[in-house]
Amino acid sequence: MKRLRCWSLYLAATLIVVAISATPARAQLDRAPVIGVIDIQGVLRASTAVQVLSRDIEASRDRTQAEIQDREAALRAADIDLAERRASLSAEAYAEAREKLETEGVEIQRLLQEERRRLDQRFSLGMTQVQQVLLRIAQDIARENNLDLVLSKSIVIIIRPEFDFTDEALERLNAELKEVPLPPTQN
């Protein structure tokens, strides 16, 4: 019984090896491979969707910075007021007011860091969406042009222009994705 089981496993392994070696994926090509190149970073930089995303994130950063500066200015004014009233306050009242101001200052910094992190996450999420669409577009270009391999231009030193599909990829990306659909911000 043990031998039969070993023989069955041997036969199954042999059939799998034969099946794999007979598949077209393992067969050698009758022609030289056709390679295409896309400047991924260039496409992303020039993409309308990425530019809109960058502008939106930067506008949000500017709004947040303005709000934080307003709160910091109010905090500085309260600090100056407290310093002027120090002589009229008891030591405990002054210490309590000073601690309250310091706590508010720490809270402002925490909110600023949290907002920066949230905006970085939104940008990252948006870029991931753009990259996924660009990957699909590169796959379509490869299929339509019977390309065997698509490389990033950053790793290629010399290329003939007819193998560079950067402009086509950018045109398709801009036609398909004008802006990145992100969920609304939560304040």
Residues 6 or more apart from 140 whose CB is under 8 A from it?
172
Tell me the residue type at 20. I
DSSP 23: S
CA atoms within 13 A on the CB side of 181: 3
Ranking 47-51, 129-133, 153-157 by mean pLDDT, the lowest is 153-157
Paired with 152 in beta bridges are: 38
pLDDT tens across 27-66, in order?
Answer: 455 788 889 999 999 999 999 999 999 999 999 999 999 9
Please give the pLDDT value at position 99: 93
12's enclosing H/E stretch is helix 2-22
Confidence of residue 181 (pLDDT cuts 50, 70, 90): confident
3-state secondary structure 58-102: HHHHHHHHHHHHHHHHHHHHHHHHHHHHHHHCCHHHHHHHHHHHH
The span from the CA of 146 to the CA of 165, in Å, is 13
Is residue 17 predicted with pLDDT exceeding 60?
Answer: no
- The 10 Å Cβ neighbour count of residue 36 is 22
Would you tell me the crossing angle of helices 91-144 and 48-85 to the nearest 10 degrees? 180
Please give the pLDDT value at position 184: 66
The answer to whether 38 and 150 have CB atoms below 8 angstroms apart is yes
Is residue 130 predicted with pLDDT exceeding 90?
Answer: yes
Helices (H), 145-180: 166-176
